[in-house]
Amino acid sequence: KAGVTQTPRYLIKTRGQQVTLSCSPISGHRSVSWYQQTPGQGLQFLFEYFSETQRNKGNFPGRFSGRQFSNSRSEMNVSTLELGDSALYLCASSWSDVGPEQYFGPGTRLTVT
């Protein structure tokens, strides 16, 4: 069974621009969570989607948003990029209602200049 995939793997953007990241979960998984990983803040929860509904949201500004499609694929969007948004963005998928185990994708490395 294929693992969690994320595209693109690397991105370089300029301050003020916006970016969209994509995550395809493991087949059959209905929950997708997004995390931001930085050396200073570690792994921080952004939001979680389950059956196309945002079920939980972390403490990030409204510039960070996401959505989930009927096939469980998820996207997250960051508008008006700031230098501090430079990070590794990881998504993780799980069965959720069947089991809590979350499996991570390889991440998207975003650099804001």
Partner 1 sequence: GENVEQHPSTLSVQEGDSAVIKCTYSDSASNYFPWYKQELGKRPQLIIDIRSNVGEKKDQRIAVTLNKTAKHFSLHITETQPEDSAVYFCAARTESSGDKLTFGTGTRLAVRP
CB 33 within 8 A of CB 91: yes
CB 63 within 8 A of CB 15: no
- Confirm or reject binding of residue 104 to partner 1 (CB under 8 A): yes
Stretch that binds partner 1, among 19-27, 49-57, 61-69, 70-78 (CB under 8 A): 49-57
State the binding string over 26-45 for partner 1 (x if CB under 8 A, else -): -----x-x-x------xxxx
Burial of 110 per CB tally in 10 Å (0-12, 13-18, 19+):
buried
Minimum Å gap between C-beta 80 and partner 1 is: 25
